[in-house]
Amino acid sequence: MNTYFVYILANSKYGTLYIGATNNLPRRMYEHSHGLIEGFTQKYSVHQLVWYESTVNAFSMATRERQMKEWKREWKINLINTHNPEWQNLYQHGEILPLPIP
């Protein structure tokens, strides 16, 4: 069974945000953190994983990503602050850390 992820990256606390989706979060984070994906995240140095969620349903992942991209910035920040109030980078040394839910 596959696992799919929706995630939020930031370049700093309350900084520029990026929402993405993937079926392999460690690989995708490696690509983002090493500048291997051209575009928005590379241009604005948005490489810190500050929030993610997983599902086993690809359709749910794609739907959630589309919904979140339409969210107001304030809603995204509230989501991050609820689950990761220090905006800790959850991708460290090639590993995905669990969300530090308060």
| Tens-digit pLDDT profile for residues 39-66 | 999 999 999 999 999 999 999 999 999 9
Q: Give 62's contacts (C-beta < 8 A, 6+ positions apart).
A: 21
Structurally, the chain folds into a number of domains equal to 1
* Residue 79 near residue 7 (C-beta atoms within 8 A): no
What pTM does this model have?
Answer: 0.95
User: Rounded to an integer, what distance in angstroms lies between the CA atom of residue 43 and that of residue 8?
Assistant: 16
Residue 102 has pLDDT above 80, yes or no: no
**CA-based R_g, the chain, Å:** 13
Residue 77 lies in a domain: yes
* Those residues with Cβ within 8 angstroms of residue 1's Cβ, 6 or more apart along the chain or in another chain: 56
Local confidence band at 1 (pLDDT 50, 70, 90 cut-offs) = confident
Q: Which domain holds residue 27?
A: 4-96
Determine contact, residues 33/91, Cβ cutoff 8 Å. yes
Q: Is residue 102 part of a domain?
A: no
